[in-house]
Chain A
Amino acid sequence: DVKVTQSSRYLVKRTGEKVFLECVQDMDHENMFWYRQDPGLGLRLIYFSYDVKMKEKGDIPEGYSVSREKKERFSLILESASTNQTSMYLCAEGEFGQPQHFGDGTRLSIL
């Protein structure tokens, strides 16, 4: 079974902090994705990566960056957290042509 592990289920941070969300997959797949999910807006793609050290902007990259130093790990970085980044963050992985599999999500609150 595919396993995607996100480092925290719940996280509370303060405005202006630098926040790291970590995601690890155990399938040695190339593609990894970061989404945020908000009520009434659905899942929206922030960034994705199709190989180590490669990254591509998704639909809403502003205020975020990512890091993919190793194939199994894809990190989402909030450079200076703001209250409008309070959301559920979901990491996913998937091979080309295959379904994406999601982690359990991190519910992030920015105070």
Chain B
Amino acid sequence: GQNIDQPTEMTATEGAIVQINCTYQTSGFNGLFWYQQHAGEAPTFLSYNVLDGLEEKGRFSSFLSRSKGYSYLLLKELQMKDSASYLCAVRDEGYSTLTFGKGTMLLVSP
């Protein structure tokens, strides 16, 4: 089975940097995904890590350490529109299904 933990809520200020952590214990691992979900909307894909290290994509970066079962999503130069829920998801080795964490609600204030 899969167990994925991430903080429930975080707050940050516009223009700042925030790091959202995700830890996982899984029976199989074939990649970790981060999604963003605004209230009332569908989750949208942000980033994907399958090897250890940092993946950078504009203001967003994601890091993975497979030996530690740990990932983080780093958001730089925060904007008000970044207020959303951020979902960490682990893909298994078989059918390519995802198991999601419960999500981290990020509130960006002026």
Contact = CB atoms under 8 A, between A and B. Distances in A.
Interface of A: 31, 33, 35, 40-45, 48, 50, 56, 58-59, 90, 94, 96-97, 99-105
A68 to B, nearest CB: 14
Interface in B47-102: 48, 87, 89, 95-102
B87 to A, nearest CB: 7
Contacts of A58: 97
Contacts of A50: 95
Nearest to B34: A99
A106 to B, nearest CB: 11
Nearest to B2: A59
A33 to B, nearest CB: 7
Contact of B42 (A31, A42, A105): A105
Nearest to B44: A102
B41 A104 contact: yes
B96 A45 contact: no
A104 B101 CA distance: 20
B103 A42 contact: yes
Interface of B: 33, 41-45, 48, 87, 89, 95-103
A102 to B, nearest CB: 4
Given A40-B102, A101-B45, A56 B95 contact: yes
Given A90-B42, A101-B45, A102-B42, A31 B96 contact: yes
Contacts of B97: 33, 45, 48, 58
Nearest to B8: A40
Given A42-B103, A43-B87, A100 B98 contact: yes
A48 B42 contact: no
Interface centre among A35, A99, A104 (most CB of B within 10 A): A99
B41 to A, nearest CB: 7
Contacts of B45: 99-101
B102 A41 contact: yes
Instruction: List the 8 shortest-distance A-B pairs measured between CB atoms, nearest first.
Output: A42-B102, A102-B42, A43-B100, A99-B45, A96-B96, A42-B100, A104-B42, A102-B43
